[in-house]
């Protein structure tokens, strides 16, 4: 299998916003190369306590402040790229693109960004790389880490005695290749809101549940029951495995595959006026059409937690909350990302 790599030259400050913008055209996930030194927090999360094991950012060959973002798409025998991207209705469309078409779309998105933020050089190079062991190579970068006093640890690592003393709660997670780990700022923003609002009577709906991180943690925080929806059928085994790893009873968490935005069958299965909390950690352009639909699922007085919002889309998502008749309770920022929490009155 071959992959086409689109390599964007930018600066360290623009990494997150470029990654977010290019998700809109189907470039999901990026390999980042930069010369940014690790912060004390980074080192703590990576559990680097031996200087000789610390990554050496001085020998990358990359100029200070410069960053490269590498995006990969599979290329077939006809020199066509398979691209999946969310449309205006929140559905994921699969299309074929030529390399030139994809390159043109990337340049258009970068030109949009240049109009209001500094993305550095912004040039794009293209090349082809041979088959890579995507299934396992990513594991070398995912290590145990803390969100406040919650330890999130992958299945291939073990708790230390220090962990057992420090952690009030431990989430054992094996995210697989398709879903998040909880390390990203957007997920952390959601987790803190869930911890604040979950009660022993909470019925939770998790839209775009992925590996089930938010639902499983909500149940560990004391929620009564959770329902997760996702577009990807791979979410079902991922959630099942993570439930088992954390001793979550099968009757506590129901999974449903389908698009709650426009699929009446899924809407009926999920149910109406029954959730104390709905959480959605998705892209902003999916949250906008999702929000008025969620009003039907929330109980009166229910809490709606949204994240996955790059800061440039904050006003757009805030308007969607207000237009749906929601009362905004809290807005939190972490890095370039935003979480908006509202209530149905």
Question: Three-class SS of residue 51?
Answer: helix
- Report residue 236: phi and psi, to 5°: -65, -55
Whether 70 and 209 have beta carbons less than 8 Å apart is answered as no
**Beta strands of 76-211 (E only): which ranges?**
81-86, 92-97, 124-129, 145-147, 150-154, 169-173, 203-207
Tokens linked to 53: 């094991």
Q: How far is CA 5 from CA 71, 90, 102, in A?
A: 6, 26, 11
Helices (H) and strands (E) in the chain, counts: 11, 16
From CA 327, how far away is CA 321, in angstroms rounded?
Answer: 8
Q: What sign for the dihedral angle of Cα 160, 164, 168, 171?
A: positive
Tell me which residue of 185, 181, 149, 143 sits closest to 167, measured CA to CA.
149
- Please report, in range form, the residues annotated as the binding site: 187, 208, 230, 281
Strands 298-310 and 337-344: antiparallel
- Please report, in range form, the residues annotated as the binding site for S-adenosyl-L-methionine: 187, 208, 230, 281
Whether 197 and 203 have beta carbons less than 8 Å apart is answered as no
**How far out from the chain centre does Cα 138 lie?**
16
Helix axes 15-23, 99-114, angle to 10 degrees: 130
Whether 204 and 275 have beta carbons less than 8 Å apart is answered as yes
């Amino acid at each position: 299998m071959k992959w086409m790599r689109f390599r964007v030259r930018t600066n360290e400050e623009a990494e997150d916003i470029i990654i977010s913008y290019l998700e809109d055209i189907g470039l999901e996930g990026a390999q980042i190369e930069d010369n940014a030194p690790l912060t004390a927090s980074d080192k703590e999360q990576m559990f680097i306590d031996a200087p000789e094991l610390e990554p050496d950012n001085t020998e990358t060959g990359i100029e200070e402040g410069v960053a490269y973002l590498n995006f990969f798409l599979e290329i077939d025998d006809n020199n066509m790229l398979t691209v999946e991207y969310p449309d205006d209705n929140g559905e994921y469309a699969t299309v074929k693109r030529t390399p030139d078409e994809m390159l043109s779309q990337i340049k258009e998105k970068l030109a949009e960004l240049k109009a209001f933020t500094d993305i550095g050089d912004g040039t794009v190079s293209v090349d082809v790389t041979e088959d890579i062991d995507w299934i396992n190579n990513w594991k070398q970068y995912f290590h145990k880490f803390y969100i406040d006093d919650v330890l999130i640890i992958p299945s291939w690592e073990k708790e230390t005695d220090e962990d057992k003393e420090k952690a009030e709660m431990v989430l054992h997670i094996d995210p697989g290749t398709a879903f998040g780990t909880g390390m990203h700022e957007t997920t952390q923003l959601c987790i803190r809101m869930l911890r604040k609002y979950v009660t022993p009577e909470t019925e939770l709906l998790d839209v775009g549940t992925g590996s089930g991180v938010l639902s499983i943690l909500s149940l560990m925080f004391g929620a009564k029951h959770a329902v997760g929806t996702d577009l990807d059928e791979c979410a079902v085994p991922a959630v099942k495995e993570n439930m088992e790893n954390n001793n979550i009873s099968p009757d506590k968490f129901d999974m449903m595959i389908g698009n709650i935005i426009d699929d009446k069958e899924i809407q009926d299965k999920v149910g109406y006026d029954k959730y104390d909390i709905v959480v959605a950690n998705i892209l902003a352009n999916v949250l906008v059409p999702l929000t008025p639909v969620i009003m039907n699922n929330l109980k009166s007085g229910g809490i709606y937690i949204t994240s996955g919002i790059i800061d440039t889309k904050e006003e757009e998502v805030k308007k969607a909350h207000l237009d749906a008749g929601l009362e905004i309770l809290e807005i939190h920022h972490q890095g370039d990302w935003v979480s908006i929490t509202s209530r149905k009155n």
